[in-house]
Amino acid sequence: MASLWEYANPVKFMQTSGWLMPVAAVLAAGMIAVGLVWGFFLTPDDFRQGSTVKIIFLHVPSALMAINAWAMMLVTSLIWLVRRHHVSALAAKAAAPIGATMTLIALITGAIWGQPMWGTWWAWDPRLTSFLILFLFYIGYIALWSAIEDPDTAADLTAVLCLVGSVFAVLSRYAALFWNQGLHQGASLSVAPGTRMDWSYKGPLYLCMVGFVMLFIALVLAGTRTEIRARRLRALLTRERAMG
């Protein structure tokens, strides 16, 4: 039985991700295409929100990935701090810009949805505010990575920032809830009884969500592969310099 830690070896990781990345990319493209066509054209309009509601098929999956990307960075940062696997640190680095973009997509689609519904592009609603703050956390994390030259130092420092940032991001979420009770509708999907959404909507939404997960996996793998190649280049240059 192969251990998960085998993928901490860059060579092994490159081999596996070499075929996994295209698979994930194709799955992502297929699922998102089908999910969006199904969602946009083959579902009935909502009796209150009309066709505007259909932006949900982009909004919810991107919001989901915005949070999960940070969670993934937290886990990979911890793995780096505890077990010093370089691939883990590089995966965290690769995930940050993707997470930031997902946050931005969630914010923009939210604004487009909110304008006809609430009559405003932006409201200082706790959920919106939390996402804006999450975006700021992403910016800080990315900025710290790019500011430090030595890759191991950068990996260590950004990992600590990610840990501390996670705690404060959760605190900010509660602070925002306390601060303003908000306009945003409750969670769209819920396991609680009295389901709020019909299956004609849930089908394409779930498909889009899985598609976004696949998209995220494909992008993180691509990003991590790029980072590994950059490190490889660095190692070669160091060797060349050392040999004179």
Partner 1 sequence: MIALLIRDLRLAFRAGGGFGLGLGFFLILAVLVPLGVGPDPQTLGLIAPGILWVGALLACLLSLDRMFALDHEDGSLDLLATAPIPLEGVVAIKALAHWLTTCLPLALVAPVLGILLNLPGPGYLWLVLSLLLGTPALSMIGAFGAALTVGLKRGGLLLSLLVLPLYVPTLVFGAQSVTRAAQGLDPLTPILLMSGITAGSLALLPFAAAFALRINLR
Partner 2 sequence: MELRVSDLAVARGGLPLIEGLSFAVSGGEALVLRGPNGSGKTTLLRTLAGLQPPLAGQISAPPEQMAYAAHADGLKSTLTVRENLRFWAAIHGQNGVDAAMAAMNLTDLADRQAQHLSAGQKRRLGLARLLVTGRWLWVLDEPTVSLDVASVALFGEVVRAHLARGGAALLATHIDLGLPEARILDLGPYKAEMPADLGFDEAFL
Is 48 a binder of partner 2 (CB under 8 A)? no
The residues in 133-172 that bind partner 2, with binding defined as CB under 8 A, are 150, 152
The DSSP code for 119 is: S
> What Cα–Cα distance (Å) separates residue 142 from each residue in 25, 62, 147, 152, 203?
24, 19, 9, 15, 35
Contact (Cβ atoms closer than 8 angstroms) between residue 148 and residue 157: yes
Is 235 a binder of partner 2 (CB under 8 A)? yes
Residue 45, CA atoms < 13 Å, CB-side half-sphere: 6
Q: Residue 167 CB, nearest distance to partner 1 (Å)? A: 8
Q: Residue 152 CB, nearest distance to partner 1 (Å)? A: 9
**143 contact, one of partner 1, partner 2, none, CB 5-8 Å limit per kind:** partner 1
d(CA 155, CA 90): 8
Is 82 a binder of partner 1 (CB under 8 A)? no
CB atoms within 10 A of CB 151: 17
> What Cα–Cα distance (Å) separates residue 161 from each residue in 84, 104, 132, 169?
16, 21, 18, 11
Is 172 a binder of partner 1 (CB under 8 A)? yes
Residues 123-162, one symbol each (x = binds partner 1 by CB under 8 A, - = not), give: ----------x--xx-xx--xx--xx----x--xx--xx-
The residues in 2-31 that bind partner 2, with binding defined as CB under 8 A, are 9-10
Alpha helices in the chain (DSSP H): 10-41, 56-83, 86-118, 126-147, 151-179, 199-243
- Closer to partner 2 by Cβ: residue 48 or 239: 239
Is 238 a binder of partner 2 (CB under 8 A)? yes
Single out the segment in contact with partner 2 by CB under 8 A; choices: 48-56, 68-76, 105-113, 232-240: 232-240
Q: Any residues with CB less than 8 A from the CB of 91 and at least 6 apart, and which?
A: 72, 76, 220, 223, 224
Is 182 a binder of partner 1 (CB under 8 A)? no
Task: Name which of 13, 30, 171, 202 is nearest 94 in CA terms.
Answer: 13
Q: What are phi and psi of 46, to 5 degrees?
A: -70, 145
**197 contact, one of partner 2, partner 1, none, CB 5-8 Å limit per kind:** none
Residues in contact with partner 2 by CB under 8 A are 9-10, 86, 150, 152, 228, 231-232, 234-236, 238-239, 241-243
Residues in contact with partner 1 by CB under 8 A are 133, 136-137, 139-140, 143-144, 147-148, 153, 156-157, 160-161, 163-165, 168-169, 171-172, 174-176, 178-179
